[in-house]
């Protein structure tokens, strides 16, 4: 999208662009290029996080006293566009984009003072413990138990699909502290030390061959009662607040636009006579992405006014994930058999392997496979549609 | 970036919503249709709209307008779209005043704009000659004769062409159909000798006419813009038309959806309201999503017009493409979810479906806009 920027905004864009150009090392660029999902490896993510922290640009949307930039909506948008263009590795979102805002909104002063600086520095690397083997879409059906024992809760149970649990030293999670008529009641939001001897992590190998998520087992894990966010049995409201941030309020569209541009470059792999169909589909997708982009901007300005993106964030999650999948669908069709060799060594960081097929295409299929999860994670798109129909439409 | 209405614009929108609901609702359109009203809108209602400042909404104050701007006009059109309001606003203001503002001479401005703003003069744009929008497709010829021009040819689907006082006619003074160059725009009195207007009752009861120009003589001062350079006026004019039509469509889809939601909450089958079925809930959520996406594109396009941004053409194609897609889905789903009663003339939902199809075609359908968007986006 083109906007009529003021000369100050243009200067800001140049500054951001110059920063990305100067601060992205060859290793970081390679890591960004070889991403096969929305996550980067821990070391890479933290290296990039440190650079952004030093610059003061790590958490633009946080309040200034906690490290925010105080940027205008337009500046944040410019930053998102330039980031999409520069393709840096991904930051780990669990602390920066999920727990951070939740603590800012619902944490005690002591929790903010203790945890927010550690999130920024990377000293704490967080994972998110929500889903359980028997509580996926029906998250409120979670059974992981926290029993009060003096000044501690004692945890027993299992969490699953926990991204980067094997690398995290802390987990924010939902546990059952009570039983009431409504399953959402009796859920509490706890901060758990992953180094406790009662915690065990088993990575789960996905269809892509990657193992980014884990099953996490709690056996007699003791958590001080001061590590609760919000009131006991009232953790559901903290989660809802946090999930709205996870689902929306971001800026997915600039990255999707880059993905369309990338797919367009693959068009030339097709015989000329066969290009018009996929080209039109990319045109259609670009119309959708542009519409999403303007809606993201509208939501951002709502968030600035009201403090939370609200249930409308569900529509951003649906659109962002489905468009991303549709674009990668076209990319897979375009790359053809070049994308099909299973060659994880070719997208391992620092590899010296020459890829089968175009260098640019080594991640097309693994990304496509991992990205099938986009419509499942963070509340499946079916759940998002339930939320809209109930919370927005009153059905 | 103005993706929300400011206070003044919100006030204008509220006024428009109340006005259309009470003075120009769907029931009025039905009555005009059933009575086969020769004008096709209420001139009383139109006068009241002019008094509210709508007729002069994009006309400078110096020429008697209110100059509220395009966001405000979009808000009014959205409310007209919501109530399927019969009025000459679109033709007279978006197209008529729009063309004069873009290409008119000083004397045309001072003669005509105040009359438009006062609701005393209605206009229509006579452009299309084929069933599909074709900006430079005009073959109707204009030949210089003496100190004037003679127009010969036919125009089709001229919105409000049956009743407008003056017609803005795209004519070919050079080249052939499809050429960007060689088009000229003329202002022709609707009662000029040689003009034959045949009202064509559109499926959605929108007012339109087919118009025959049999050697119609006009003076040189009837030219709007330079000879052969009408494309310079038509291109920005049609972008405005696309954006404003998308705004109208936004109101139409919003209302079709609101009525459908109300029906989902009240209609019972199997002992429960049908809105409790997930098969319908998810489709309702999808409609909501589509409408919100369309709303964002319309708001940004309108604000681009107000700010005179250089991405207006791209946003015009985007807004019309997205609104067309959203409205298409919503209008079909609205009828489907109403079930059998949706098929009846007695229920309004069918009127929305029919209005939607005409709106979608006007100034280019979805495929036209998508291709135009893609072309513009590459530069």
Q: Which of chain A's residues have a Cβ under 8 Å away from the Cβ of B264?
A: 395
**Measured between alpha carbons, how far is B95 from B118 in angstroms, rounded to an integer?**
16
Choose the mutation target among B267, B280, B285, B323 for the interface with A, i.e. most A CBs under 10 Å: B285
**CA of A309, closest CA in chain B: separation in Å?**
14
**Measured between alpha carbons, how far is A301 from A314 in angstroms, rounded to an integer?**
16
pLDDT on residue B379: 66
Q: Domain A7-91 falls in which CATH fold?
A: Butyryl-Coa Dehydrogenase, subunit A; domain 1 (1.10.540)
Residues B288, A388: C-beta atoms closer than 8 Å: yes
**CA of B353, closest CA in chain A: separation in Å?**
22
Give bridge partners of residue A132 from the DSSP assignment. A135
Contacts of B378 (CB under 8 A, 6+ apart): none
Where in the sequence of chain A do the CATH 1.10.540.10 domains occur?
Answer: 7-91
Q: Which of chain A's residues have a Cβ under 8 Å away from the Cβ of B377?
A: 286
Give me the helices (H) in chain B, please. Answer: 7-23, 26-34, 43-51, 70-83, 89, 98-103, 106-117, 230-266, 278-306, 312-338, 349-361, 366-377
Confirm if A315 and A298 have CB atoms less than 8 A apart: no
For A43-57, write each residue's pLDDT tens digit.
999 999 999 999 999
Choose the mutation target among B292, B294, B325 for the interface with A, i.e. most A CBs under 10 Å: B292
Where in the sequence of chain A do the CATH 1.20.140.10 domains occur?
Answer: 248-392
pLDDT on residue B183: 98
Residues B296, A298: C-beta atoms closer than 8 Å: yes
Which CATH architecture does the domain made up of A126-234 adopt? Beta Barrel (2.40)
Give bridge partners of residue B70 from the DSSP assignment. none
Whether B248 contacts chain A with CB within 8 A: no
Residue A74: closest C-alpha in chain B: B1
Which among B278, B293, B321 has the least Cβ separation from residue A295?
A: B293
Q: Any idea which of A1-15, A228-242, A326-340, B135-149 has the lowest mean pLDDT?
A: A1-15
Q: Which of chain A's residues have a Cβ under 8 Å away from the Cβ of B4?
A: 298, 301-302
Contacts of B218 (CB under 8 A, 6+ apart): B148, B149, B150, B151, B186, B187, B188, B192
**Measured between alpha carbons, how far is B318 from B307 in angstroms, rounded to an integer?**
17
Whether B286 contacts chain A with CB within 8 A: yes
Whether B306 contacts chain A with CB within 8 A: no
Confidence of residue A134 (pLDDT cuts 50, 70, 90): very high
Residues B377, A286: C-beta atoms closer than 8 Å: yes
Which among B294, B295, B309 has the least Cβ separation from residue A4?
A: B309
Residues A384, B309: C-beta atoms closer than 8 Å: no
The pTM of the full predicted model, rounded to 2 decimals, is 0.93
Identify the CATH class of B124-229. Answer: mainly beta
Residues A301, B300: C-beta atoms closer than 8 Å: no
Residue A288: closest C-alpha in chain B: B322
Residues B292, A73: C-beta atoms closer than 8 Å: no
Residues B261, A393: C-beta atoms closer than 8 Å: yes
- Mean pLDDT of all residues in A93-106: 94
* Segments making up each domain of chain B, as ranges: 7-120, 124-229, 231-377
Burial B209-246 (b: 16+ CB within 10 A, else e): bbbebeebebeeebbbbebbbbbbbbebbbbbbbbbbb
pLDDT on residue A358: 77
Superfamily of domain B7-120: Acyl-CoA dehydrogenase/oxidase, N-terminal domain (1.10.540.10)
| Domain A248-392 CATH assignment equals 1.20.140.10 | yes
Residues B284, A288: C-beta atoms closer than 8 Å: no
Whether B48 contacts chain A with CB within 8 A: no
At A223 the three-state DSSP class reads: strand
B37 exposure class (CB count in 10 Å sphere: 0-12, 13-18, 19+): middle
Confidence of residue A1 (pLDDT cuts 50, 70, 90): very low
**Measured between alpha carbons, how far is B127 from B137 in angstroms, rounded to an integer?**
8
At A203 the three-state DSSP class reads: strand
**Measured between alpha carbons, how far is B29 from A285 in angstroms, rounded to an integer?**
37
Chain A to chain B, count of Cβ pairs less than 8 Å apart? 110
Confirm if B113 and B65 have CB atoms less than 8 A apart: yes
One digit per residue, pLDDT tens: chain B, 379 residues?
568 888 999 999 999 999 999 999 999 999 999 999 999 999 999 999 999 999 999 999 999 999 999 999 999 999 999 999 999 999 999 999 999 999 999 999 999 999 999 999 999 999 999 999 999 999 999 999 999 999 999 999 999 999 999 999 999 999 999 999 999 999 999 999 999 999 998 999 999 999 999 999 999 999 999 999 999 999 999 999 999 999 999 999 999 999 999 999 999 999 999 999 999 999 999 999 999 999 999 999 999 999 999 999 999 999 999 999 999 999 999 999 999 999 999 999 999 999 999 999 999 999 999 999 999 998 6
SS3 string, chain A, reads: CCCCCCHHHHHHHHHHHHHHHHHCCHHHHHHHHCCCCCCCCHHHHHHHHHHHHHHCCCCCCCCHHHCCCCCCHHHHHHHHHHHHHHCCCCCCHHHHHHHHHHHHHHCCHHHHHHHHHHHHHCCCCEEEECCECCECCCHHHCCCEEEEECCEEEEEEEEEEEECCCCCCEEEEEEECCCCCCCCCCEEEEEEECCCCCEEEEEECCCCCCCCEEEEEEEEEEEEHHHEECCCCEHHHHHHHHHHHHHCCCCCHHHHHHHHHHHHHHHHHCCHHHCHHHHHHHHHHHHHHHHHHHHHHHHHHHHHHHCCCCCCHHHHHHHHHHHHHHHHHHHHHHHHHHHCCCCHHHHCCCCCCCCCCCHHHCCHHHHHHHHHHHHCCCCCHHHHHHHHHHHHCCC
Residues A290, B265: C-beta atoms closer than 8 Å: no
Residues A312, B292: C-beta atoms closer than 8 Å: yes
**Whether pLDDT at A356 is above 90:** no
Provide, rounded to the nearest whole percent, the portion of chain A with pLDDT above 70. Answer: 97
Closest CA to A332 of A303, A307, A301, A364: A364
Superfamily of domain B231-377: Butyryl-CoA Dehydrogenase, subunit A, domain 3 (1.20.140.10)
Which among A294, A382, A384 has the least Cβ separation from residue B297?
A: A294
The number of helices, as runs of H, and strands, as runs of E, in chain B is 12, 10
Phi, psi for residue A128 in degrees, rounded to 5: -115, 115
Phi, psi for residue A341 in degrees, rounded to 5: -60, 140
Provide, rounded to the nearest whole percent, the portion of chain A with pLDDT above 90. Answer: 78
Which residues on chain A place their C-beta less than 8 Å from a C-beta of chain B? 1-4, 73-74, 280, 283-284, 286-288, 290-292, 294-295, 297-298, 301-302, 312, 314-315, 318-319, 382, 384-386, 388-390, 392-395
Burial A278-293 (b: 16+ CB within 10 A, else e): bbebbbbbbbbbbbbb
**Measured between alpha carbons, how far is A233 from B300 in angstroms, rounded to an integer?**
43
**CA of A241, closest CA in chain B: separation in Å?**
20
Confirm if A216 and A200 have CB atoms less than 8 A apart: yes
The helix (run of H) or strand (run of E) holding residue A160 is: strand A152-163
Q: Which of chain B's residues have a Cβ under 8 Å away from the Cβ of A395?
A: 261, 264-265, 275-276, 280-281, 284
Residues B285, A384: C-beta atoms closer than 8 Å: yes
Q: What is the DSSP letter of B362?
A: T
The helix (run of H) or strand (run of E) holding residue A199 is: strand A199-204
Written as six digits, the tokens of B4 are: 């929300």
Contacts of B193 (CB under 8 A, 6+ apart): B216, B217
Choose the mutation target among A288, A390, A393 for the interface with B, i.e. most B CBs under 10 Å: A393
Q: Which of chain B's residues have a Cβ under 8 Å away from the Cβ of A389?
A: 281-282, 284-285
More confident residue, B288 or A341: B288
Q: Which residue is it, tokens 């080594």?
A: A362
More confident residue, B253 or A80: B253
Residues A297, B284: C-beta atoms closer than 8 Å: no
Written as six digits, the tokens of A270 are: 């097709």
Confirm if B61 and B70 have CB atoms less than 8 A apart: no
Residue A112 CA, distance from chain mean position: 21
β-pairing, B123-126 with B166-172?
Answer: parallel
For A155-164, write each residue's pLDDT tens digit.
999 999 999 9
Burial B47-67 (b: 16+ CB within 10 A, else e): eebbebbbbbbbbeeebbbbe
Choose the mutation target among B243, B290, B300 for the interface with A, i.e. most A CBs under 10 Å: B300
Give bridge partners of residue B141 from the DSSP assignment. B152, B172
Whether B293 contacts chain A with CB within 8 A: yes
**CA of A15, closest CA in chain B: separation in Å?**
21
The number of helices, as runs of H, and strands, as runs of E, in chain A is 13, 8
């Amino acid at each position: 999208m083109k906007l009529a920027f003021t000369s100050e905004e243009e200067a800001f864009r140049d500054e951001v662009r110059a920063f990305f150009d100067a601060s992205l090392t060859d290793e970081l660029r390679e890591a960004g290029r070889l991403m096969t999902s929305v996550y980067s490896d821990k070391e890479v993510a933290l290296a990039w996080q440190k650079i952004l922290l030093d610059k003061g640009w790590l958490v633009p949307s946080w309040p200034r006293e906690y490290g925010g930039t105080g940027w205008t909506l337009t500046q944040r948008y410019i930053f998102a566009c330039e980031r999409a263009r520069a393709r840096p590795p991904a930051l780990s979102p669990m602390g920066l984009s999920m727990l951070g805002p939740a603590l800012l909104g619902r944490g005690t002063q002591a929790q903010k003072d203790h945890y927010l600086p550690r999130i920024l520095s990377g000293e704490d690397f967080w994972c998110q413990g929500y889903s359980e083997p028997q509580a996926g879409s029906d998250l409120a059906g979670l059974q992981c138990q926290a029993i009060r024992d003096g000044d501690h809760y004692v945890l027993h149970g299992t969490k699953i699909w926990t991204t980067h649990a094997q690398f995290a030293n802390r987990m924010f999670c939902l546990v059952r502290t009570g039983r009431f008529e409504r399953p959402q009641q009796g859920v509490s939001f706890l901060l758990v030390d992953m180094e406790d001897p009662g915690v065990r992590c088993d990575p789960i190998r996905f269809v892509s061959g990657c193992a980014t998520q884990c099953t996490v087992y709690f056996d007699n894990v003791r958590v001080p009662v001061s590590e609760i966010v919000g009131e006991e049995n009232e953790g559901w409201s903290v989660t809802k607040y946090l999930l709205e941030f996870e689902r929306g309020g971001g800026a997915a569209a600039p990255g999707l636009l880059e993905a369309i541009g990338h797919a367009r470059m693959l068009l030339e792999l097709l015989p000329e006579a066969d290009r018009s169909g996929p080209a039109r589909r990319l045109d259609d997708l670009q119309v959708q992405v542009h519409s999403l982009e303007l809606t993201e901007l509208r939501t951002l300005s709502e968030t600035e006014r009201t403090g939370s993106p609200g249930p409308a964030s569900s529509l951003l999650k649906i659109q962002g994930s489905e468009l991303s999948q549709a674009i990668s669908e076209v990319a897979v069709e375009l790359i053809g058999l070049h994308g099909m060799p299973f060659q994880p060594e070719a997208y391992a960081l620092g590899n010296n392997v020459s890829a089968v097929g175009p260098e640019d295409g080594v991640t097309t299929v693994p990304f496509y496979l991992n990205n099938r999860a986009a419509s499942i994670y963070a509340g499946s798109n079916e759940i998002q549609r339930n939320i809209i129909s109930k919370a927005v439409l009153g059905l | 970036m103005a993706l929300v209405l400011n206070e003044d614009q919100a006030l204008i929108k509220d006024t428009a919503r109340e006005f259309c609901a009470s003075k120009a609702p769907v029931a009025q359109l039905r009555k005009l249709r059933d009575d086969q009203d020769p004008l096709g809108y209420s001139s009383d209602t139109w006068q009241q709209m002019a008094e509210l400042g709508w007729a002069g909404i994009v006309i400078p104050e110096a020429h008697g307008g209110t100059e509220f701007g395009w966001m405000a006009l979009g808000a009014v059109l959205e409310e007209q779209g919501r109530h399927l309001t019969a009025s000459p606003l679109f033709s007279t203001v978006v197209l008529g005043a729009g063309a004069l503002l873009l290409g008119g001479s000083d004397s045309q401005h001072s003669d005509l704009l105040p009359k438009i703003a006062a609701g005393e003069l209605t206009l229509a744009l006579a452009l299309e000659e084929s069933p599909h929008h074709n900006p430079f497709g005009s073959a109707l010829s204009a030949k210089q004769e003496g100190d004037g021009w003679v127009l010969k040819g036919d125009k089709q689907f001229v919105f409000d062409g049956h009743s407008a006082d003056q017609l803005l006619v795209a004519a070919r003074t050079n080249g052939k159909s499809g050429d960007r160059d060689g088009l000229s725009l003329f202002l022709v009195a609707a009662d000029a000798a040689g003009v034959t207007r045949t009202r064509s009752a559109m499926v959605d009861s929108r007012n339109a006419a087919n118009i025959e120009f049999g050697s119609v003589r006009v003076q040189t001062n009837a030219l709007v813009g330079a000879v052969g350079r009408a494309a310079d006026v038509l291109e920005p004019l049609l972008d405005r038309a696309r954006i404003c039509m998308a705004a109208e469509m936004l109101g139409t889809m919003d209302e079709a959806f609101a009525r459908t939601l109300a029906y989902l909450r009240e209609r019972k089958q199997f002992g429960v309201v049908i809105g409790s079925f997930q098969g319908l809930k998810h489709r309702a959520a999808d409609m909501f999503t589509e409408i919100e996406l369309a709303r964002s594109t319309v708001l940004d396009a309108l604000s681009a017009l107000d700010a005179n941004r250089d991405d207006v053409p791209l946003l015009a194609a985007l807004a019309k493409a997205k609104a067309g897609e959203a409205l298409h889905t919503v209008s079909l789903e609205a009828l489907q979810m109403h079930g059998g009663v949706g098929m009846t003339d007695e229920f309004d939902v069918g009127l929305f479906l029919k209005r939607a199809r005409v709106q979608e075609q006007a100034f280019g359908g979805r495929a036209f806009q998508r291709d135009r968007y893609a072309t513009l986006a590459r530069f």
